Chains A and B, each alone.
Chain A
Amino acid sequence: MSDLILELKELKTQFISKDSTVTPVDGVSYNIKKGEILGLVGESGCGKSVTALSIMRLFRDTTGKITGGSVQFNGKDLVKVSEKEMAMIRGKDIAMIFKEPLTSLNPVAKIGKQIIEVILKHEPVSVRQARETAVKMLELVGIPRAEQVMNEYPHQLSGGMNQRVMIAMGMSLNPQVLIADEPTTALDVTIQAQILELMKRINEEHGMSILLITHDLGVVAEMCSRVVVMYAGRIVEEADAENLFLRPRHPYTIGLINSIPVIGKNVERLESIPGNVPSLTNMPLGCKFAPRCSKALERCKAEEPGLFTVVSDGMERKCRCWLAAEPDKEASYA
């Protein structure tokens, strides 16, 4: 299919040290379509960030390693291309922004220099041209007095401004995909909304695909057309956003949605999912969610379900749950 930009197939990433091997991403497959915002949701430690790092292959200085699967991008398998080729793709075709904008920028280099650097790295332009592009980008992301900011340092800007700088930097080569790893988690709520709006605008005006990684379902509801839910290194549910929010199928997704506070709805206490995410070194045998699942059957504890494709009301979704595979049980938890 030509409208697929990035296609992950059975991606497996492991951190291997002398004493232990953990697998934070275990057989993950999903794809990103041209011009869409795909949400990747899950609790911290579920492997969503590692998935992003795997796409970019940013594992130097860690014990992380992609041990299986593929990442198809422009007809190439990013898992197999040389480090040199990968470096040419990073920043140019796939850009990434991170959770902590302040620490993600070099504290001793001027903002302008940091943006110009990425342009010069990938485009055969003069420093002056690169500078003009950088100023244009800063203006595009809504930074007032862009010319001045070029000569300032990250610590002189607010967190929201720094995240705008990161976005400007990521966009300056007009990449096909922007990976945003919890871009608003470290920001104030009002600033969050501004940054999200900016990303949405960029997506609409430039047709840039965005992979938005977050633990905040509210953000997903506002931004994404499609959602992938991850739990303990695996995808547990994938569906169009509307479909997912209105008719969640996986007990974990249901739990996540129920734990969002709703203004105006008077509740005794917020619902939460009992228990914790299983530790990577001590995974349950069957369904990874079974120990926390109120609907768990004997089968769930013994045997891990596959990612079933389910069609309901004419809409397709994927769900990793035995209950989803047996339509007759549907009534019991709907």
Chain B
Amino acid sequence: MFGDIIFPVIVVAIIGLVAGLGLALAAKFMAVPVDEKQEKIRECLPGANCGGCGYSGCDGYAEAVAKGEAEPNKCAPGGSAVAEQLAEILGVTVDTTPKVAFIKCKGNRELTVSKYGYEGMMSCSAANLLYGGPLSCEYGCIGFGDCYKACPFDAIKMVDNKPVICENICVGCGKCVATCPKSVIELIPKGAKIKVSCNNKKKGAPVVKNCKASCIACGMCEKACENGAIKVTDNLAVIDYDLCTACGKCKDACKRNVII
């Protein structure tokens, strides 16, 4: 009786008790304090782990924010709502204008002159390695959809070999910006009415020859603008969205229909 039943029960009970007590003691004496702020921040984050903030994931970003190494408005999927929550936890104010990706190129297979027939891997970065891609504009969109493949939110669609960004879905994480070998994608304030849809940093005749929808750096928009919000820098019109009132005068002034 004792040897068959009670002894095994006692043995297992004692081992269980020792293990349990050991773990309880270990948890008490070897506890690692976790920053309360960090846990709170982590709870506010959406948990998509997209990496748009530049950290390994939501946990990494929460840690960085709690330590004060990162700004609280870097979370693109969470947008302004999350940024405000984080700012409240940290007790600071942040700039919460939501951003969307915008493709600064109107060029396509018809408008832009073709340089050569490309028959390689259908990837912008691969095509870019071969004399900067099959289109004659060295700054423009190649159109093989590397950004479309990179978008974690399916906000980019490919229409006639051209990526189209759906502004309602885009959260401005910037993955496409980092992927594009031509750096033709930019993050602009959501709902911006005036955009410059060209990335060509050259001027004059060769630009006109290469693409029908290109900025030739004529400076008409700069003259038309009353607020000084549009400037031609590096032979390309650039809008300062802090000053732009979306009056549309630059749009009318542009002979090349590049400002949309």
The finding on whether chains A and B are genuine partners in a shared complex, rather than unrelated, reads no
Taking Cβ atoms with an 8 Å cutoff, the residues of B that contact A are none
